[in-house]
Amino acid sequence: MSKKVVRVMKIQFPAGGAKPGPALAGAGIQMPKFCTAFNDQTKDRMGETVPVVLTIYDDKNFDFVLKTAPTAEMIKKACGIKKAASDAKVTVATLSADKLKEIAEYKMQDLNAIDLEGAMKIVAGTARNMGVKVEGLDA
């Protein structure tokens, strides 16, 4: 017999840095158990923000799925900028075509794209909205 799902949460924590607190307070799970499991699985991704889909069952057990780092965070890191432009018409950095492809390949599993070219278009759209010019694609 399968367990009954009570709740599905989407939250983000720094890799290796989850700790009991307000983000998990309403989940109804054993927070230290989740934090230990999450931190163990993400210790090799230090410096990244890791989105996680947390499925909570009626018996207070849980499962979680780790996702790839947010696209905007990866673009900022690749361009060496701290903050994106508040207006997309202002260019704050340039992203090389190689870096664009690298980010798209990494993000492919979490994107709604059929192929790498589609994933690259999604990442390029995010970059443009952040005020980042993409080499080889922007006029």
The CATH architecture annotation of domain 5-66 reads 2-Layer Sandwich (3.30)
Domain boundaries, the chain: 5-66, 71-134
pLDDT digit string, tens, across residues 82-126? 888 888 788 888 888 899 999 999 998 888 889 999 999 999 999
Q: Say if pTM beats, i.e. exceeds, 0.85.
A: no
Q: Rounded to the nearest 5°, which phi and psi values hold at 10?
A: -115, 115
**Confidence tier at 137 by pLDDT (50, 70, 90):** low
Torsion of CA 9, 15, 20, 22, to 10 degrees: -50
The CATH architecture annotation of domain 71-134 reads Orthogonal Bundle (1.10)
Q: Which residue has the tokens 């790839």?
A: 68
pLDDT digit string, tens, across residues 34-65? 899 999 999 888 888 999 999 998 888 899 99
Task: State the Cα–Cα distance between residues 139 and 80, nearest whole angstrom.
Answer: 22
Torsion of CA 74, 80, 82, 83, to 10 degrees: -70
